[in-house]
Amino acid sequence: MSELLNKFLPLEAKRSELVAIGGADPFHVVVERVVSATEAIVNGQQVIMAGTNNYLGLTFDPESVEASCAAVRDEGTGTTGSRMANGSYGAHLALERALADFYACPAAIVFSTGYIANLGILSTLTGSGDVILMDADCHASIYDGTRLGAAQVVRFRHNDAANLERRLQRLEDKAKRTLVVVEGIYSMLGDRAPLQEIVEVKNRYGASLLIDEAHSLGVLGDHGRGLAEELGVEDQVDFITGTFSKSLGSIGGYCVSRWAELEFMRYAMRPYIFTASSSPSLIASTRIALKKLNSGTVLRKQLWANAHQLYQGLAEMGLELGPQVSPVIAIRLPVSMEEAPGVWGELLSKGIYVNLVLPPATPDGGCLLRCSLSAAHSPEQIDRILAAFSDIKEKIAPEKSG
């Protein structure tokens, strides 16, 4: 074995230990067959998928599927190069125009994934002499994007606008060269940024603001544009990034801006210049899904009805949940990291797939079971999810003192 691989042996040893103790392996889940937007065959068993981020259930939407198939037949399976090298397909430009129109912004750039969108924007927008002030609970793609660039990076306490203001005060004149970065809905606990307060703070100091709406696109706002729309502050947000891989049921990412000069960044973003562009099939299905998102509220209303049903049912069991109702519902586990895989495995054996999240990926160092709901889940499926949690609630409900 290469000496370079030795550093990973402790990780594999820990994984093996957790699997041996818990009797279940959450690290190598194989989805053998996808049955629908909400069910799949896992380990030979048909299960309800309650951890996929498929918020609007559009992965099997007939129009999106047909558009994707037609694009493969007409334009092939891939672009085989970057847009800078091989050129943009007409569909790439059409999707960018649709996104710009959707957000009523003058500029939009489409990326191959949401991860690459954050890498590209954050590593390029700020440089030497600039500052990035980011919420401590931001996604790994945001952390990685800041590391690729030359800006000074400072974290502020999660969802703490007062802490953000104190850090901006210390920057003095550099505050005007500062990018504040937050998320609409945070992916682990399902909580939201206090965006109105953050906007007020950044305006006082002349900073710029980027919000990642990955988990809030299609979920919040009258038109599904996210938290900034819901709170009426879109005209105060400088940059919005997001992904196609959740509410739009596809793969890809984007950035839109109220500043037309966003367009100039194409010529400097290494993750954009040197990454193969999205395949025609992905672009085609995304365009259809975006139209559906923009044309009605039925799916969004069903999604929220499902979220309230599950959150209320879990709360009534006495489980410790994330701070507010959201399509992302996290259950804090009062067990050790060694015991957590066994709890996850019990749910899977009862036909329910959720995400197991272990430290250091969790915000506070504990263990979580993370559910993400879909508009495609039926009330009966949510009842089955609740029944499975009820069967194991004695193991996961916090102990009451006194």
pLDDT tens-place string over residues 37-63: 999 999 899 999 999 999 999 999 999
DSSP string for 144-187:
HHHHHS-SEEEEE-TT-HHHHHHHHHHHGGGGGGEEEEEESB-T
Residues 273, 84: contact at Cβ < 8 Å? yes
User: What pLDDT is stored for residue 402 in this prediction?
Assistant: 43
User: What pLDDT is stored for residue 363 in this prediction?
Assistant: 87
The neighbour count for residue 385, using CB atoms within 10 Å, is 26
Element (DSSP H or E) covering residue 11: helix 9-22
User: What pLDDT is stored for residue 401 in this prediction?
Assistant: 46
Whether CATH 3.90.1150.10 fits 13-49+297-396: yes
Ranges of each domain in the chain: 13-49+297-396, 61-295
DSSP string for 214-230:
TTTTTTSSTTS--HHHH
Counting as low any pLDDT under 50, the low residues of the chain are 401-402
Three-class SS state of 346? helix
DSSP state of 210: E
CATH fold, domain 61-295, is Aspartate Aminotransferase; domain 2 (3.40.640)
User: What pLDDT is stored for residue 400 in this prediction?
Assistant: 63
Phi, psi at residue 67, to the nearest 5°?
-60, -40
Fold equal for 13-49+297-396 and 61-295 = no
Three-class SS state of 289? helix
Residues 157, 184: contact at Cβ < 8 Å? no
Encoded tokens for 56: 């609007």
Q: Which residues are catalytic?
A: 187, 215, 246
DSSP string for 243-274:
ESSSTTSS--EEEEESSGGGGGGGGT-HHHHT
